[in-house]
Amino acid sequence: MPLREVDSMPRCAACGILVPCQEIHKEHEGHSIIVCSEKCFRMYTTYWYPKYGAKEARRSAAGR
Ligand SMILES: [Zn+2]
């Protein structure tokens, strides 16, 4: 099974690791985000978004 290019691999919005094949797509505050687990989604919504949120969200949305 060939690995995907690093560039095309999504990163978890919460912990920042590359998520090669088990990414979870979520909608949050109108943005689509990618996380590696439900735990990270909760971390994103409760910690990252309130703290760094808008900036990070805009950066990942720019790639669309
Ligand atoms: Zn994660």
Q: Predicted confidence band at 1 (pLDDT cuts at 50, 70, 90)? A: low
pLDDT at 15 (0 to 100):
93
> Is residue 46 one of the residues assigned to a domain?
yes
Number of domains composing the chain: 1
> Is residue 1 one of the residues assigned to a domain?
no
Nearest to 27, CA basis, from 9, 17, 13, 11? 13
For residue 51, report the distance from its CA to the centre of ligand 1, in Å. 17
Assign 3-class secondary structure to the chain: CCCCCHHHCCECCCCCCECCCCCEEEEECCEEEEECCHHHHHHHHHHHHHHHHHHHHHHHHCCC
> Is residue 4 one of the residues assigned to a domain?
no
> Is residue 31 one of the residues assigned to a domain?
yes
Q: How many residues does the chain have?
A: 64
CATH number at residue 21: 2.30.170
For residue 1, report the distance from its CA to the centre of ligand 1, in Å. 23
For residue 61, report the distance from its CA to the centre of ligand 1, in Å. 18
Question: What residues make up the domain containing 46?
Answer: 9-61
pTM, to two decimals: 0.66
| Residues 27, 7: Cα–Cα separation, whole Å | 22
> Is residue 2 one of the residues assigned to a domain?
no
- For the stretch 12-58, pLDDT in tens is 999 999 998 889 999 998 989 999 999 999 999 999 888 876 665 55
